[in-house]
Amino acid sequence: MVLDKEIEKKVVDQADIKTIIKRLGKEVSKDYYDKYPILVGLLKGCMPFMGDFIKVLDFHLELGFMDVSSYHGGVQSHIDVRIEKDLSMPVRDRHILIVEDIVDSGRTLHAVIELLKQRGAKSVQVCTLLDKPSGRKIPYSPAYIGKEIPNLFVVGYGLDYQERFRNLPYVGVLKPEVYSEEDRILTNQSDT
């Protein structure tokens, strides 16, 4: 495989992902089966996870998408959060479940949750595949967490490095030589 060769180690493999999605599906179904929620996916990272996740949810729901950017291509989370694409439906009096691939600094979620609350959402919760609590700059605990990971820069299953590796079917860590010189220094710093 082409992408496989650039991965140093797997952090969450395909079997893990399947097990996690099954468990999250049960937890979310128990809480939302009678709430007709809007599941809001944050593009682009949510795509593979959200695609697999909704298939285990056997209740009525709507899908919405937003594109909110915080990383701008590299390995470090920037302070800016930009709304590139907004939801196409009103959220007033609706239950919202945000679907994320990863929560790192918490900045993206902070911005999106505030916005949806301002717009009158009845409730706003988060279901994330990965949680990296060591990266947190704004305190936040998602209601539904697939797996907590240490302070590693991970790619795959939606997560990118410079827009690549989103199509990897598992989550892993890149080999050091894949990074640009500048990012290699930053990655080493964040691992310590």
Among 69, 76, 123, 162, binds ligand PRP (CB under 6 A): 69
Cis peptide, bond prior to residue 44, ω within 30 of zero: yes
Among 32, 53, 65, 71, binds ligand PRP (CB under 6 A): 71
Q: What count of other Cβ atoms lies within 10 Å of the Cβ of residue 96?
A: 24
What amino acid occupies position 113? I
Interacting positions 87-116 with ligand PRP (CB under 6 A): 100-108
* Closer CB to ligand PRP, 25 or 77, in the complex: 77
Instruction: Quote the least distance from Cβ 160 to ligand PRP, whole Å.
Output: 5
* Residue 160 binds ligand PRP, judged by CB under 6 A: yes
* Closer CB to ligand PRP, 40 or 102, in the complex: 102
**What's the angle, vertex CA 81, arms to CA 93 and CA 183, rounded to 5?**
140
Instruction: Quote the least distance from Cβ 8 to ligand PRP, whole Å.
Output: 20
Q: Judge whether 49 and 171 are in contact, CB under 8 Å.
A: no
Q: Specify whether 93 is catalytic.
A: no
* Residue 179 binds ligand PRP, judged by CB under 6 A: no
Chain residue whose CB lies nearest ligand PRP:
45
Task: Quote the tokens at residue 59.
Answer: 């209740």
Using the Cα atoms of residue 134, residue 155, residue 71 and residue 147 in order, give the sign of their dihedral: negative
Give the total of residues touching ligand PRP (CB under 6 A): 18
CA distances from residue 51 to 62, 71, 137, 152 in whole angstroms, order as listed: 13, 23, 29, 25
Residues forming the site for ligand PRP (CB under 6 A): 42-45, 69-71, 77, 100-108, 160
Active-site positions read 104
